[in-house]
């Protein structure tokens, strides 16, 4: 076997797992001894709230990964294998650690987010100063960057042609797992000075969250548990996916975000079931392809990552950035808009870090097209609160909702929050869970409680404006204002 490097270091980032890990596989295959590290990057962590579910999810997943490394190492005669975890600025720590370990090469997975690209460029330079190679490989998407292009050789900006090209290109080669375990004998034992256990949250100045109370499983084992459960109901996915009170989604998005599960495994499972005739699997695979689509948009259109609209004409829209806009935005953030489905969705996000995909579209449309608030404000709020926050998907979703993105909904398509509520939460099970002050209202009245009769409201203990807010906007009037606001786009197009 070709092992040109005597020692290598794997820098885990968005790939917190052992199985089917592309960077780990390449390192084990090409190095005689391989160390594995994760940097709790202070450049990122210092900006986060001290109680952040994502940090706890990562920390607990790292602890599981450390144990799995130790087991794999012991099985191959290396009892002191384990994960090296450092709390520092990755830009300085990776070159320092590589030198300390005598690594001749560092391996990592690609990360096309703008800040990550800048960081990796600096790391590459620091490593090169010491004669250390830096190899990065594709891992967190099936197809990336310029792998799926139009016949003209340009990047896709419309989803359906991209999906069709993706499906034509995909085959067993692209979906097969990297056989990490085959080369596990090359795992290196940690030097004694680096055998510390994974830091506790308090060691890195973070606090415990309600992650465990939410029963969100962590690590590779958690991802496999969720996948096994989902595969039993994947055939019904198309019928169940739009209803937030129903167990329809896979709930794997946070695992995809941090790489505790391989995208190749998920796409392989979906693709095989689609070919066997499962409509649900076909729809789920399509959503995985959307994820690849948004990742290649970020990689190929730099202005998107810089906070600009994909359709540049939409940056001419005048959003309500004044005190009134801030007041509306605060009500949206708190789940106090007077529209029960919107409020339930925002409260779910605030309490759990999760939001159903249908509701992400509803609340995003409401913020941009009912309240006239800049989509970037919503994008930033989601970035702070979503457990599964991923820049490309979050940006793509918000630009889709605001009609400023690639293959977005037309600007004149404006979700009606009441009809969305009646259609997708008809029995109001979801609303009652997160807006308990309306729980006693009948299902026919709960979707628009301001229209209910005084006696019905009194019997349910609801006082509009006191126990539950009145609508902060009139949807019909807001729709007209939105069409006026977006008229600037029509003028520029003309």
Question: Under CATH, to which class is 312-493 assigned?
Answer: mainly alpha
Mean pLDDT of 90-107: 98
- The Cα–Cα gap between 391 and 408 comes to 17
Among residues 384, 388, 385, 399, the alpha carbon closest in space to that of 298 is found at 399
Q: Average model confidence (pLDDT) for the chain?
A: 96
* For residue 124, pLDDT beyond 70: yes
Handedness of CA 151, 157, 158, 162 (dihedral sign): positive
Tell which CATH architecture fits domain 5-139: 3-Layer(aba) Sandwich (3.40)
In this structure, the number of other CB atoms found within 10 A of the CB of residue 118 comes to 11
Which residue(s) pair with 83 in the sheet? 36
What would the mean pLDDT of 98-127 be, rounded to a whole number? 97
CB 201 within 8 A of CB 62: no
Residues 6+ apart with CB under 8 A from 190: 35, 80, 81, 82, 84
pTM higher than the cut 0.85: yes
Q: What integer pLDDT is reported at residue 491 of this predicted model?
A: 64
* Contact yes or no for 398/382 (Cβ under 8 A): yes
The stretch 419-433 carries a mean pLDDT of: 98
Distance (Å, rounded) from C-alpha 250 to C-alpha 255? 10
- Boundaries of CATH 3.40.50.620 in the chain? 5-139
% of the chain surpassing 70 pLDDT: 99
Q: What is residue 1's predicted lDDT score, i.e. its pLDDT?
A: 45
- State whether residue 58 is helix, strand or coil: helix
Q: How confident is the model at residue 388 (pLDDT cuts 50, 70, 90)?
A: very high
Tens-place pLDDT, residues 125-164: 999 999 999 999 999 999 999 999 999 999 999 999 999 9
pLDDT for 452: 97
Q: Where are the domain boundaries for CATH 1.25.40.80 in the chain?
A: 141-177+220-300
Is residue 106 within a helix (H) or strand (E), and if so which, with residue range? Answer: strand 105-109
pLDDT of residue 489: 86
Fold for 141-177+220-300, please state it: 1.25.40
Residues assigned a catalytic role: 287, 290, 319, 357, 375, 398
133-147, 339-353, 444-458, 476-490: the lowest-pLDDT one = 476-490
pLDDT at 181 over 60: yes
pLDDT at 412: 86
Check if the beta carbon of residue 65 is closer than 8 Å to that of residue 220: yes
CA nearest to 314, candidates 408, 417, 397, 394:
408
Average pLDDT over residues 82-109: 97
Contact indicator for 338, 471 with CB cutoff of 8 Å: yes
Q: Is the pLDDT of residue 283 over 70?
A: yes
pLDDT tens by residue, 234-275: 999 999 999 999 999 999 999 999 999 999 999 999 999 999
Kindly provide the b/e burial profile for residues 192-206, where b requires at least 16 CB atoms within 10 angstroms of the residue's own CB.
Answer: eebeeebbebeeeeb
**Would you call 142 exposed, middle or buried from its count of C-beta atoms within 10 A (0-12, 13-18, 19+)?**
buried
Q: What number is the average pLDDT over the span 277-300?
A: 98
Q: Is residue 494 predicted with pLDDT exceeding 60?
A: no
Mean pLDDT of 321-344: 97
* pLDDT above 70: residue 463: yes
Question: Which pLDDT tens digit goes with each residue over 104-114?
Answer: 999 999 999 99
Mean pLDDT of 325-333: 97
């Amino acid at each position: 076997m070709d092992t040109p490097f005597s020692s290598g270091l794997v820098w885990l980032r968005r790939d917190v797992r052992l199985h089917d890990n592309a960077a780990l596989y390449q390192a084990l295959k090409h190095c005689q001894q391989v160390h594995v590290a994760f940097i709790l990057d202070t450049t990122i962590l210092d900006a986060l709230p001290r109680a952040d579910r994502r940090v706890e999810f990562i920390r607990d997943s790292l602890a599981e990964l450390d144990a799995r490394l130790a087991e794999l190492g012991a099985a191959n005669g290396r009892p002191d294998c384990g994960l090296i975890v450092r709390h520092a600025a990755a830009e300085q720590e990776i070159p320092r650690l590589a030198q300390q370990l005598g690594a001749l090469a560092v391996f990592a997975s690609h990360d096309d987010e703008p800040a990550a690209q800048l960081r990796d460029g600096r790391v590459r330079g620091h490593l090169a100063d010491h004669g250390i190679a830096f190899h990065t490989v594709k891992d967190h998407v099936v197809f990336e960057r310029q792998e799926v292009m139009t016949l003209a050789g340009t990047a896709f900006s419309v989803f359906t042609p991209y999906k069709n090209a993706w499906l034509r290109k995909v085959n067993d080669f692209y979906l097969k797992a990297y056989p990490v375990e085959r080369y596990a004998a090359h795992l290196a034992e940690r030097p004694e000075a680096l055998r510390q256990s994974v830091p506790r949250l308090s060691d890195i100045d973070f606090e415990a969250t309600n992650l465990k109370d939410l029963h969100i499983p962590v690590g590779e084992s958690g991802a496999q548990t969720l996948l096994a459960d989902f595969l039993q109901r994947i055939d019904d996915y198309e019928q169940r996916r739009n209803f937030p009170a129903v167990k329809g989604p896979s709930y794997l998005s946070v695992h995809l975000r941090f790489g505790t599960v391989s995208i190749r495994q998920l796409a392989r499972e979906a693709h095989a079931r689609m070919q066997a005739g499962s409509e649900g699997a076909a729809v789920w695979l399509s959503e995985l392809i959307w994820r690849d689509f948004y990742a290649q948009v970020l990689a190929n259109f730099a202005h998107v990552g810089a906070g600009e609209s994909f359709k540049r004409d939409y940056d001419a829209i005048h959003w309500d950035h004044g005190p009134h806009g801030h007041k509306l935005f605060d009500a949206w953030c708190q789940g106090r808009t007077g529209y029960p489905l919107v409020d339930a969705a925002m409260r779910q996000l605030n309490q759990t870090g999760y939001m159903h995909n249908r509701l992400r579209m509803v609340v995003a449309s409401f913020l941009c097209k009912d309240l006239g608030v800049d989509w970037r404000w919503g994008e930033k709020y989601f970035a702070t609160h979503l457990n599964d926050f991923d820049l490309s998907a979050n940006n793509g979703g918000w630009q889709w909702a605001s009609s400023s993105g690639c293959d977005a909904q037309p600007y004149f398509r404006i979700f009606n929050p009441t009809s969305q509520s009646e259609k997708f939460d008809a029995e109001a099970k979801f609303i009652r869970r997160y807006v308990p002050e309306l729980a006693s209202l009948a299902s026919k009245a709960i979707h628009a409680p301001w229209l209910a009769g005084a006696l019905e409201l009194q019997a349910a203990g609801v006082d509009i404006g006191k126990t539950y807010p009145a609508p902060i906007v009139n949807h019909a009037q807001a729709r007209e204002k939105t069409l006026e606001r977006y008229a600037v786009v029509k003028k520029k197009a003309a």
